[in-house]
A and B are shown apart, each in its own frame.
Chain A
Amino acid sequence: MSERPNIVDHNQLFRQDKYVRQREEKRAFEAPCSPEEVTDTLEYTKTKEYKDKNFARTAVVVNPAKACQPLGAVMAALGFEKTLPFIHGSQGCTAYFRSHLARHFKEPVPAVSTSMTEDAAVFGGMRNLIDGIENCIALYQPEMIAVCTTCMAEVIGDDLSAFLANARQEGVLPEDMPVPFANTPSFSGSHITGYDAMLRSVLETLYNKSGRTAQPGHELKLNVLLGFDGYTGNFAEMRRMLGMFGATYTILGDHSSNFDSGATGEYSYYYGGTPLEDVPKAADAAGTLAIQQYSLRKTLGYMKQTWGQQVSSISTPLGIRATDRLLEEISRLSGREIPEALKQERARIVDAMMDSHAYLHGKRVAMAGDPDMLIGLIGFCLELGMEPVHIVCSNGDRKFEKEAELLLKSSPYGAEATVHSGQDLWHMRSLLFQDPVDLAIGSSHLKFAAKEAEIPLLRVGFPIFDRHHLHRYPIIGYQGALNLLTQFVNTILDVMEEQAPDHSFDLVR
């Protein structure tokens, strides 16, 4: 008898009668709110009165769209060859950073901790740091150890500089091993400032160690920085564009290979990254191009001041105009013409945008994410005739607000927008109910508010936990614009068809 087992998982299983009954009967022990109370409260939370209260809160933060500094520091560390992220503090943080990044990239994330506990809280974590360095060198053979701190180490005031000096004195840490370090407490900044702090420290450490003196402009090469970038595809796209220019360049902080390595049957802790010896040489570059600003402030400041670099920084280049600016900057810094092939590519993508614009035009949009990403998204939406309405940036500041507002003012399609920096996704929820929009754009965390507002979420940014491989496709450059366009327009078409009555279930769109 070939009976086939009937296997249903959580999506279907708990809809079965026996489980529906179970759910109802369990309420007898829950002392639950009455269905009326729940319905009334749900409706109340959609009102203006609730929104006003929501925006009046000063202390509690609900569903913020930001993570903490050391997470960014780990990403920055993994941008360099054979570099082991080393987190000084209590060990749970490290488990969280590793999980968080692994969930987004679907890749392993090597990082170690000093595993500080109560005794270290009292006596300091020096012994943990020194023993930890000895252990991690023996096990993982890094060529650079990038140390950042957690809240704990910062609150007790551990002195990394002194501890590392002692580790060298004890002979545990080889004289020639570079150990950049960054103070990255969770109680200031966010993942993007942590990224910045670590990247700056890596550049400074390797530059100082080399004993060289910067001779900016001595080399024809460009320095290219992508910042806290959750898209490995962006690195490949940047390389492709620079290659088309025939430009020579160094990407400072290239985490793409560590977050997009192949399955070969063997695992290595290190899969590439910027070669360490390229960093001091970068001080001689013709110029520096950064495609994020808010996540690179300290780094770019250092490069300007200490290396005397000519620095050009723009926010994430999404869409046609922002890519135009990117190419102009590459052209200016490299002294090379924008290649014909890229101009042709531009024309093809503009053509694609024309083909699809009708489905996007006038769509009202809510968006949340990191500052650089939001500037890019606003620009992209405006050039498609989409209307940004609610912009929430949990880790944005006054400068971001001004820049975003200026950009929005440049187009009639930005007229209705309001920018909410320092706010969270519970604020967004109120905004969506009080002033409904058609679409949401942001990370997976925005899915809860989008679902309640019954609008599709276009997943862009970090973290994307609930869709696969989006990060492998570039969103920058003309090609990236096509990828975003494809994702946006087809999501809208999917929704249209789901909602279409039979007579409007059209074959051709």
Chain B
Amino acid sequence: MSSIVDKGKQIVEEILEVYPKKAKKDRTKHFEIADEELVNCGTCSIKSNMKSRPGVMTARGCAYAGSKGVVWGPIKDMVHISHGPIGCGQYSWGTRRNYANGILGIDNFTAMQITSNFQEKDIVFGGDKKLEVICREIKEMFPLAKGISVQSECPVGLIGDDIGAVAKKMTEELGIPVIPVRCEGFRGVSQSLGHHIANDAIRDFLMGRRELKECGPYDVSIIGDYNIGGDAWASRILLEEMGLRVIAQWSGDGTINELGIAHKSKLNLIHCHRSMNYMCTTMEQEYGIPWMEYNFFGPTKTMESLRAIAARFDETIQEKCEQVIAQYMPQMEAVIRKYRPRLEGKKVMLLIGGLRARHTIGAYEDLGMEIVATGYEFAHKDDYEKTFPDVKEGTILYDDPTAYELEELAQRLNIDLMGAGVKEKYVYHKMGIPFRQMHSWDYSGPYHGFDGFKIFARDMDMTINSPVWSLLPSRQTAEVPV
């Protein structure tokens, strides 16, 4: 075993020392150091998708966050009711930057907070009657809404409301789909179960329900892209330029119709495997639609993915694919020529929710940066198995790490950049560690595709090389890059 692996193990061991016995035993299982064997074969023993320890600062959210916040919320022509008390809808209102075209409140309802605002009496007497009234009022207030989803918050499940029955009744009465989603926050251990529950509801109520008039040989769907900062648009453009026809976006800037026609695709392309793999496997089982994962972060992975996608089609597409790559390559080279010298050798640590803890590794490497530690808030075993082949020996992988663990690791690994969420961001500012918010691209983006990589590179440079960091007392001697 190499010394770098040993060193990583020792660091982790030291950090976990502070925990009480039970918590320490549990947390130990959520770390693994990539060694040669793991990188080559990708198997791992890291524990994931298990309950967080109480009393620690986990970065995780809940099933509601996974369903309404991630999967359903971006579907733009539906009204999504945050069904229950006020808080959940308020905190998830417009914060994920799921861009969508349309007029807010008229034919686009993404950045809105529509809630049943449960009061004590609703807890005591149940909220089903109120939900009926809400659905009717939504039809009145938002006549162009193509459907309604009911996103359950904790109390709804606990008091035993039958939102399924209400939804059925209102679907008939209003003539638009009203879809119950039982994504109460206490279900499961993280957002992840919320994704699954959301997917199940899409399967049961929307998938395969619409017709596509003319099908073509090059029809594909984008699955698991939430159009954060316009990511899905920057991805779609490449697919279209290589001659494919994207018939559906699930779910960023998506519509009910797109959810209903995706089963007509010749190939499903999935970006966020964690949040929507259930849909791809379901469409494969029910309609025989093949699917593949792709990664549009950074030119290397984007090129690889474009070619892999093209390889599933004929020579026309493959030729066009090469043309697209050739067309963008000079721009990518210019970006790398400019930024790589400024970023070479910089050490990066990541904690992100779903795909990005592994998907962005290639983009950092394109800029000469090195991932020294990475992991997920709510990944499953398969995510880690896919991650190991993408990291280097000695990289520390963690599952559901606590704020304390990350802070200790960041300091001991002497990192140059931390990429995590808004809850973590300002901690690292205090520590003087450059930080990028990698959930919502720190209000920048898109980061997907060739157009996105330019912004990614610029953002990483401005973050790491800002002269602001040199103002800290401990860094005053640091050289200010120009």
Contacts and interface: CB of A to CB of B under 8 A. Distances in A.
B472 A265 contact: yes
B444 A22 contact: no
B458 to A, nearest CB: 5
Contact of A152 (B61, B185, B256, B257): B185
A68 interface: yes
Interface string B150-183: 0001110111000000000000000000000000
Contact of B141 (A13, A62, A133): A62
A67 B87 contact: yes
A132 B426 contact: no
Nearest to A262: B430
Say which size band chain B's interface belongs to.
35 or more
Given A59-B116, A134-B20, A114 B85 contact: no
Interface in B105-141: 105-107, 111-120, 122-123, 130, 133-134, 137-138, 140-141
With a 10 A CB-CB cut-off, give which of A42, A60, A188 has the most chain B CB atoms: A60
Given A99-B91, A113-B58, A152-B154, A185 B455 contact: no
Contacts of B480: none
A505 interface: no
B92 interface: yes
B55 A152 contact: no
A186 interface: yes
A109 B423 CA distance: 7
Contact of A135 (B55, B61, B64, B255): B55
A71 B87 contact: yes
Interface string B74-114: 00010001001111101111010001011111110001111
B233 interface: yes
Contacts of B158: 121, 152, 155-156
A9 B442 CA distance: 12
B313 to A, nearest CB: 19
A395 to B, nearest CB: 9
B427 interface: yes
A103 B95 contact: yes
Interface in A14-53: 14, 18-19, 22-23, 25-26, 29-33, 37-38, 41-42, 44-45, 53
Given A61-B116, A102-B422, A152-B186, A114 B141 contact: no
A262 B115 CA distance: 38
A124 interface: no
A134 B55 contact: yes
Contacts of A156: 158
Contacts of B187: 117-118
A90 B58 CA distance: 12
Contacts, number: 336
B430 A108 contact: yes
B185 A190 contact: no
B134 A59 contact: yes
A139 interface: yes
A150 interface: yes
Given A151-B84, A186-B87, A10 B230 contact: yes
A266 B408 CA distance: 11
A155 B54 CA distance: 19
A342 B158 CA distance: 56
Given A107-B426, A448-B104, A96 B88 contact: yes
A30 B92 CA distance: 25
Contacts of B338: 4-5
B167 to A, nearest CB: 15
Given A30-B258, A152-B155, A97 B91 contact: yes
B35 interface: no
B70 to A, nearest CB: 12
A263 B432 contact: yes
B9 interface: no
A64 interface: yes
B229 interface: yes
Interface string B373-411: 000000000000000000000000000001110010000
Contacts of B19: 135, 138-139
B476 to A, nearest CB: 10
A264 B430 contact: yes
Given A100-B91, A136-B55, A261-B430, A30 B119 contact: no
B474 interface: yes
Interface stretch (B234-242, B296-304, B343-351, B358-366): B234-242
A185 B72 CA distance: 26
Given A29-B247, A121-B186, A135-B23, A186 B85 contact: yes
Contacts of A140: 404
B102 to A, nearest CB: 8
Contacts of A89: 154
A132 B188 CA distance: 18
A106 B426 contact: yes
Contacts of B460: none
A142 to B, nearest CB: 11
Contacts of B90: 64, 66-68, 100
A326 interface: no
A103 B186 contact: no
A30 B427 CA distance: 42
B85 A187 contact: yes
A421 interface: no
Given A42-B103, A98-B423, A263-B432, A186 B63 contact: no
A63 interface: yes
A129 interface: yes
A111 interface: yes
A331 interface: no
A290 B329 CA distance: 64
Contacts of B431: 265-267
B141 A57 contact: yes
A96 B240 contact: no
A129 to B, nearest CB: 7
A133 B63 CA distance: 24
A483 interface: no
A60 B62 contact: no
B8 interface: no
A19 B237 contact: yes
A30 B249 CA distance: 10
Contact of B106 (A41, A100, A131): A41
A261 B106 CA distance: 42
A44 B429 CA distance: 48
A123 B347 CA distance: 45
Given A22-B237, A113-B58, A155 B430 contact: no
30 contacts: A8-B454, A31-B146, A37-B144, A38-B106, A38-B144, A41-B106, A61-B86, A67-B87, A67-B91, A90-B62, A92-B88, A93-B185, A97-B91, A99-B91, A99-B421, A102-B425, A103-B422, A108-B426, A108-B430, A111-B57, A112-B54, A113-B54, A117-B188, A131-B55, A134-B55, A139-B56, A151-B85, A152-B155, A264-B473, A448-B111
Pairs A-B, 7 closest by C-beta atoms: A92-B62, A132-B55, A68-B87, A132-B54, A186-B85, A135-B55, A96-B91
Interface of A: 3-10, 13-14, 18-19, 22-23, 25-26, 29-33, 37-38, 41-42, 44-45, 53-54, 57-64, 66-68, 70-71, 86, 89-93, 95-100, 102-103, 106-118, 120-121, 128-129, 131-136, 138-140, 150-152, 155-156, 185-188, 190, 261-268, 426, 429, 445, 448, 465
Given A30-B257, A63-B113, A99-B95, 4 more contacts: A30-B258, A92-B65, A95-B58, A103-B422
